[in-house]
Chains A and B, each alone.
Chain A
Amino acid sequence: MDSAVPIVEMTGISISFPGVKALDGVDFRMFPGEVHSLMGENGAGKSTLIKALTGVYPIDAGSILLAGQPLLVTGPADSQRAGISTVYQEVNLLTNLSVAENILLGREPRRFGGIHWKEMRERAAAILHRLHLDIDPGSLLGSHSLAVQQLVAIARALDVNAKVLILDEPTSSLDVDEVAELFRVITALKREGVAILFVSHFLDQVYEIADRLTVLRNGSLVGEYRTKEILRIELVHKMIGKDIAVLTDLDTKTRNAVAETTTTIPYLAAVGLGRKGSIDPLDFAIAEGEVVGLAGLLGSGRTELARILSGIDKPDTGELKIEGRTQRLRTARMALKRRIAYSSEDRKREGIIEDLTVRDNIVLALQADRGWFRRIPRRRQDELAASYISALGIRPANPEALVRNLSGGNQQKVLLARWLAIAPRLLILDEPTRGIDVGAKAEIQRLVSNLAEEGMSVVYISAELEEVLRLSHRIVVMRDRKKVADLENDDVTVGQVMTLIASGADE
């Protein structure tokens, strides 16, 4: 296929931000009818390369050709007109508009000078149907989960008949089924000759869908490879530039942790905890130092349970005991006072404070707990920031950088640092490794299991079942807003959990 003419050809692309050379002479090309994956660690420059292509960032050096012609675009709308349709990493839709409006914003079907609402609904429904997404196009976008919002963003990109489709980490909050639907659509587009750029930190997905890979490291090009011709281990090596003993090491370590049985005194126990329209009454318990994995499909009630346990949403029924004493957690603040922290899956809306610095973001929860008057001494703040920057490998390692300028994965690490900084007794992690690269993912999982060994209880929610199984002592399976299974994790397989998720076990 190398004889074919590339539709996109970027040569010698360089972009720098003050203090950071985000891209340094990178070459990148895409062919019609091919899926091309951009690979690299957090902050390698993947999203920046995409934004160079779509004109969001002007380039300092290099050239961009689209179908052999120099491409001169100055932003998303412009590049879309040129035939490049993009789903950016941070879903940036308008939650107070309907799903249909979000899909067709700027391209609304018109009639008599006004918007043709009926056609709008129908067209939106047709696109949603292509993704097998069964939601009402008239419903408010904000009422849907992050995964659905991500699918809507994808639907929006599919609506234009583009020559080039760019998907920057489109699957980061999707479950297996949605990923499968997306891949079906991608395969169909591929057959129509569309060139697709796919970014993901999930190697399985990359190996399943990509024909070609380009690896970036620290803003420089490492190389371009055919997926068929490169082994995973080689690929990871090229991405992180060092050996990957780290990764294999983790497996044995956590397995050992799982083998040990922990204390039997529950740290937190909920009886008949429920909330109308959110989860059906259920029992839930977690012991000190225990890691409980919450598995279930999108909308199964995982996040809802987490939000109730962490005081964000109030339960209508049931009772919550912490260390044997009945407690009512009416706000996130009250839960945090008891050292129960919830790390949201939606880091942009419910996590980071974009315009504050990395340091401010890391100390925020700790500071909020102490109250506004007792400021954490600046020296202590600097120490905290420095220690988490190095423990989690936050890059750039500058505590004064604004979080909005960090790459997606690095923002996620900052968020984790915020919760770890309060030394939680119970840490509820909702998709904590979303958008985080392979190396850092292993690092974070190790950190979590170490902390659990030291007595921290962890509720771990992730669409990645392998990850859940690897880390958890116990697995709670949710389906249709009910708890359907609660099993000790001794040699439970992904297959078994999948079956439970899909069909449930009658208790």
Chain B
Amino acid sequence: MNTPQDPKNALASPLASRTGSLVHAAVRSRLVWPAVALIALLVTNVVKSPNFLSIRIQDGHLFGSLIDILRNGAPIVLVALGMTLVIATRGIDLSVGAVVAISGAFALSIIGGSDNPNSMGVVLGAVAASLVFALVLGAWNGLLIAVFGIQPIIATLILMTAGRGIAMLITEGQILTVSSAPYKVIGGGYWFALPASIIIAAALFALVAILTRKTALGMLIESVGINPEASRLAGVSSRVIIFMVYTFSAVCAAIAGLMISSNITAADANSAGLWIEMDAILAVVLGGTSLAGGRYSLTGTLIGAFVIQTLTTTVYSIGIAPEITLVFKALVVIAVVLLQAPRTRAGFARLRSRKGPSVPSAPREKAIVR
């Protein structure tokens, strides 16, 4: 349900749907370029440092560059996960970076202010308080958008700017550093030989994947994103759904914020989660979910997020000068997005049809037909 299908391949014949092969091919075709980009980046790294792929076990923990990518990518995966559902409803959430900063600051200020920062109870309480705070912030976004009908970009811009102020108030303008062993686990610890952050991100990802598929949530989110008016007339409670996705997005961002602050055992209101909204949006778009809303792909988002994270890692590992890092990142993103564009894909289809059996391209008269 939540895998993007190419419209022209969607009319699979009964035979194809029996074997499922054609449908699968179609599903993959959208993800093929981000996947290629990911592999290309990994190969680049291997060429640069041949033991890039190697994973060692040390003190019963897994180590290696790949593990680092997964661990450092966990916050982006989480934020992008929430963002995917938001974008599927035709929305956008610019406030995630601010929520990242707030949640880290809030949790650390509670822990730092307690008598015993190393107490498990205090840490759990702080984490819970942060998540509840995020729930409220997300609900605020949801309220502005679903109830007052403010455009998502504007509504979340409010929290994007005000949020860092809130974080600043919490940290009183300082960089909060607190050492707390239990808290450190979230972003820097290990469970079952794996970094805890990877497990947390994977668990939440799996939860969302199951929840959207086993309930009707996925279909209703897509329906609202594709045609809000028709959905309303069909009795879909779009307000509830929109409210939910923004609340969920904030919770995802908060968990990411806990991870980041836990990893560095510090909360910096200014730089925590800076630009993470952009990375998350890029990850979603790279993953083939359209900003116009509707059909979304969680798998795509996952690949997209790792493309972004690997890119960041690669930039360091191949020694690109810091001044041109952003330019390099932008070039890769442009390349993938262009390769995915409908026009390019139609062009490929036509090239193929010259040779093999033809596949008519999708209609090109999107905006206006004359």
Contact = CB atoms under 8 A, between A and B. Distances in A.
Co-assembled chains A and B: yes
B230 A353 contact: yes
A57 B360 contact: yes
A75 B222 contact: no
Contacts of B294: 355
Interface in B309-363: 350, 353, 358-361, 363
B231 interface: yes
Interface residues of B, number: 50
Contacts of B358: 16, 58, 60
Contacts of B11: 17-20, 396, 398, 401-402, 405
Contact of A375 (B214, B230, B370): B214
B226 A356 contact: yes
A400 B360 CA distance: 20
Contact of A342 (B9, B22, B233, B363): B233
Contacts of A373: 215-217
A18 B233 contact: no
Contacts of A58: 350, 353, 358, 360-361
A372 B22 contact: no
B230 A351 contact: yes
Interface string A63-91: 00000000000111100100001101000
Given A94-B367, A105-B368, A19 B360 contact: no
Contacts, number: 167
Interface in B225-270: 226-227, 229-237, 240-241
B370 A332 contact: no
Contact of B368 (A60, A93, A344, A401): A93
Interface in B100-133: none
B245 to A, nearest CB: 11
A367 interface: yes
A80 B360 contact: no
B220 interface: yes
B235 A76 contact: no
A18 B13 contact: yes
A14 to B, nearest CB: 9
A177 to B, nearest CB: 26
Nearest to B363: A56
B7 A51 contact: no
A405 B7 contact: yes
A342 B223 CA distance: 18
A375 B236 CA distance: 13
A353 B235 CA distance: 13
Contact of A400 (B17, B229, B232, B363): B17
A173 to B, nearest CB: 17
Interface in B1-37: 1, 5, 7-14, 16-17, 22-23
Contacts of A80: 370
A364 B234 contact: yes
A355 B230 contact: no
Contacts of B229: 349-350
B12 A76 contact: no
A478 to B, nearest CB: 21
B12 A400 contact: yes
B369 A76 contact: yes
Contacts of B223: 353, 356, 360, 364
Given A18-B9, A336-B235, A418-B234, A349 B220 contact: no
Nearest to A360: B219
Interface string A5-45: 00000000001111110000000000000000000000000
A333 B237 contact: yes
A149 to B, nearest CB: 13
A342 B12 CA distance: 31
A333 B8 CA distance: 33
Nearest to A80: B370
A156 interface: yes
A365 interface: yes
A56 B364 contact: yes
A326 interface: no
Contact of B227 (A51, A57, A75, A353): A353
Contacts of A16: 358, 360
B90 interface: no
Contacts of A401: 10-12
B12 A18 contact: yes
Contacts of A350: 229-230, 233
Contacts of A75: 364-365
A106 interface: yes
B183 to A, nearest CB: 34
Given A94-B368, A355-B226, A368 B234 contact: yes
B295 A355 contact: yes
A405 B229 CA distance: 20
B369 A92 contact: yes
A18 B359 CA distance: 7
A375 B235 contact: no
B365 A76 contact: yes
Contacts of A74: 364
Residue with the highest number of chain A CB atoms closer than 10 Å, among B219, B223, B294: B219
Contacts of B23: 400
B226 A76 contact: no
Nearest to B9: A18
A20, A75, A86, A356: which has the most chain B beta carbons within 10 Å? A356
A319 interface: no
A369 B235 CA distance: 7
A400 B237 CA distance: 24
Interface string A240-254: 000000000000000
Contacts of B231: 353, 364, 368
A352 interface: yes
A157 B368 CA distance: 12
Contacts of A331: 232
Nearest to A310: B233
Q: Which A-B residue pairs are the 3 nearest by beta carbons?
A: A19-B13, A336-B235, A368-B235
Interface of B: 1, 5, 7-14, 16-17, 22-23, 214-217, 219-220, 222-223, 226-227, 229-237, 240-241, 294-295, 350, 353, 358-361, 363-365, 367-370
5 contacts: A76-B369, A331-B232, A337-B235, A400-B12, A405-B10
Given A77-B370, A157-B370, A350-B229, 7 more contacts: A58-B353, A80-B370, A106-B370, A354-B226, A372-B220, A401-B12, A405-B7
